[in-house]
Amino acid sequence: MPKIPRSFVAALSFTALSGLSGPAFTQEVTGTLGAPGSTTTIDGKQLPPAPPAFGGVIKQKASDSQPWWAPRVVPPKGAPNVLLIMTDDQGFGAPSTFGGVIPTPAMDRIANAGLRFTNFHSTSLCSPTRAALITGRNHHSVGSGVVGEIATGFPGYDSIIPIEKGTIGTILRENGYATSWFGKNHNTPSFQSSQAGPFNQWPNGMGFEYFYGFVGGDASQWQPNLYRNTTAIYPFEGNPGWNLETAMADEAIQHMKQLKELAPEKPFFVYYVPGATHAPHHPTQEWVKKISDMHLFDEGWNKVRETIFANQKKLGIMPENAQLTPWPSTLPAWDSLGLEEKKLFIKQADVYGAYLAYADNEIGRVIQAVEDLGELDNTLIIYIGGDNGASAEGNLDGTPNEFTSFNGVNVPVKDQFLWYPFWGSERTFPHFAAGWAWAMDTPFKWVKQVPSHFGGTSQGVAMSWPGHIADAGGIRRQFHHVIDIVPTILEATGIPAPDAINGIEQKPIEGVSMAYAWDRANADAPSARKTQYFEMLGNRAIYHEGWVAATTPVTTPWAMSTAAPPDVITGYNWELYNVQDDPTQFDDLAAKMPDKLKELQDLFYSEAAKYDVLPLDNSTLARWNTPRPSLTAGRKEFSYSGELSGVPAGAAPSILNKSFTVTAEVEIPEGGAEGMIVTEGGRFGGYGLFLSKGEFGVGSGKVVFLYNFLDLKRTMWEGPELEAGKHTIVFDYKSDGPELGKGGTGVLSVDGKQVATNSLEHGTPVTFPEDEAFDVGLDTRTGVALVEYRYDSPFRFTGKIDKLTFKLQ
């Protein structure tokens, strides 16, 4: 046997604490060191670990030498698979597991086999919660004080997860896990989301070896901006009825099956985060019918809220002394609505409920696949109901197209009935009315975006691990936060938090493990989390040992306003709650206990300074348009040729709120041509310059520029059919002014001759659909035309684009 280096022997006998409140562990070696099949655990302090010195013998001839293989790194013995599930914009009171009227049998299954955590909290917005979840640090600590779309140039708000705060994906991968991510990725900065990279802030660069999902805040489930690793894919093309919820479950199931067939001893970490129930609400028609036939929402949001609260009391989700918080005066009571409004709003809720039930069903398929693989008893399953409270971003009346809300446009109820027959289909991008969001957050006040009250932050969590969580169906009321999931996983796997990753010293993980609560004897133990701050868009709160101090929101999430916000420090009132005795934040004690309030306010600012929360900023619309890193920053001219597809908005020339000129130098073959020359956006907003498809060979090849204003109005400039040869097409647009959403006049010219002049009453003020793309020579996902000049994607240009130029004023 060859001599083994002493340094490696020392490493193999190293004993270290896991960095958590758990027992010490000793490295374990299997097989004969140097043999091809040997394995070892590592101390986990340096990731990846330094390779051991060669332990064989090298002579002049191979026959006189002794080969030696470094042992393969594996997790500690008994380390479980981990299936981490989180839905989107769900609301605490939506699922049946936490008293809701919407059936969620998959979540029920995990809760009944393990535990329900009823006092678990998020950050109140999507990407901040997700950054906190995968790092175990507060959202400002990892650059995610707000969603990435409104990032600003401060450490707590730049949307960049620092390299000194590595993810759970990296930690588990380097300790021998197979790591994967399915679903929503809202953690890649918008200015790094194009084909030009860099890719270190994509899932593959954050420790997840396999990624199948979409990039951004939301996506159509019928035609999503879908990626496999960093490559855009379009499996829905020519595949009617395809839906991402089902496709994602299929992909995850196949991935786990493949892993266990190829490497049965290798545990997996699957991060499964569907887009449901974030808008657009896109269930299949089968699920819409199932939920509609149950008539869950026919009595309206006030009655549904009462039903949910009664269920929560019955299930023990809420203690007997809990009180249902009052309905706000800023939202209409159901009885005040007309018949037309009620009909529309019930449809909106049926589609939302169908979306949640459908998503839970597909999650159930993934869980069942774990059991079918024989891995259920060896899998820690954590199922988090939403990344924040239910969303009120559909405004008071809801909308058939979420991007009307994002652009500050309300769609009247009577107009929404144009989309009523196919609500939830690929022909809509729908969001329900704000009243439903408040109801889905029962029994709390407020909704998504609001971190000061539990309606914005409370998430029901179901957690199971057979043989380790033995209190089947138990309820835990300890206060916890999304940053506590990483420490819980590390304790379960016996893997320590590293001191360094890729040579970069790591900052401490800021969460605490929840594993102490698994023991039935600790069902009523004090919470291991004593203090937690909350902040989003200027609203803020602090939890400390059963007390919460919180600002009263000064704006409502369902009303986009251009009014100047109040002073971020002095313009807010504060409330005070003893949530140990008053878990719904019903009884405001601020006037009675000013000293206690002051104590907690001081604690908030202390925590804010510690975790990069400062400077506080309560602006909203201004942050959409703030300068940030970009592949297009400062550029006024852009040139392309041939084909280019799938370019996100952050890497494309933006024509919003400005004058611009598009010049296309094209070559038309004999017999004519058709197809898209350039487009950004799609069915729910955007523009396209193309040669028409025509019908039955008639009208093909006409030059068209089409502007789609949020699927509400389409304006067209029409030119002649192009004969064979070279042509120059110019669309010149002059904006009426620099203000957001101003209209303007466009002139379409062909070969130096003006062929059409038309005006826009309004331009799109803030954003085209973020799940669409800028495409040259084709149109991916959905088309901008609807009836007139309709075409099917990808609508490739059948001529040749010699040069395409954008000039921005």
Q: Give the tens place of pLDDT for each residue, 59-102.
A: 999 999 999 999 999 999 999 999 999 999 999 999 999 999 99
Looking at residue 697, its pLDDT comes to 64
- 10-residue stretch averages of pLDDT, the chain, 809 residues long: 35 32 66 94 95 95 97 96 98 98 98 98 98 98 96 96 98 98 96 94 98 97 97 96 98 98 97 98 98 98 98 97 97 98 98 98 98 98 98 97 93 97 98 98 98 98 97 97 98 97 98 98 97 98 98 91 87 98 98 98 98 95 82 93 95 96 98 97 98 82 97 97 97 93 96 98 93 97 95 96 97
Please give the pLDDT value at position 22: 39
Phi, psi of 48 (to 5 degrees): -70, 160
Contacts of 358 (CB under 8 A, 6+ apart): 245, 276, 283, 284, 287
**Quick one: pLDDT at residue 20?**
33
Instruction: Report the DSSP beta bridge partners of residue 383.
Output: 85, 462
Per-residue pLDDT of 629-680, as tens digits, reads 988 988 999 999 999 999 999 899 999 999 999 999 999 999 999 999 999 9
- How high is the pLDDT of residue 24? 52
Going from the C-alpha of 162 to that of each of 204, 349, 487, the distances in angstroms are 15, 40, 19
Question: 16 with 45: CB under 8 angstroms?
Answer: yes
Measured between alpha carbons, how far is 97 from 460 in angstroms, rounded to an integer? Answer: 8
pLDDT > 70: percent of the chain: 96
Task: Calculate the CA dihedral of residues 156, 276, 398, 217 and round it to 10 degrees.
Answer: 30
| Dist. CA 6–CA 442, nearest whole Å | 62
CA distances from 400 to 192, 432, 767 (A): 30, 9, 16
Q: Could you tell me if 608 and 536 are in contact, meaning their C-beta atoms sit under 8 angstroms apart?
A: no
- pTM to 2 decimals? 0.95
The pLDDT value given to residue 13: 33
Sequence-ordered alpha helix ranges (H) in 321-466: 339-372, 402-406, 413-416, 434-440, 454-457
Strands 72-73 and 39-40: parallel
What contacts 114, CB < 8 A, 6 or more positions away?
381, 462, 463, 464, 465, 469, 471, 472, 474
Share the mean pLDDT of the chain.
94
Q: Which residue type is seen at 383?
A: Y
Rounded to 5 degrees, φ, ψ at 605 are -70, -30
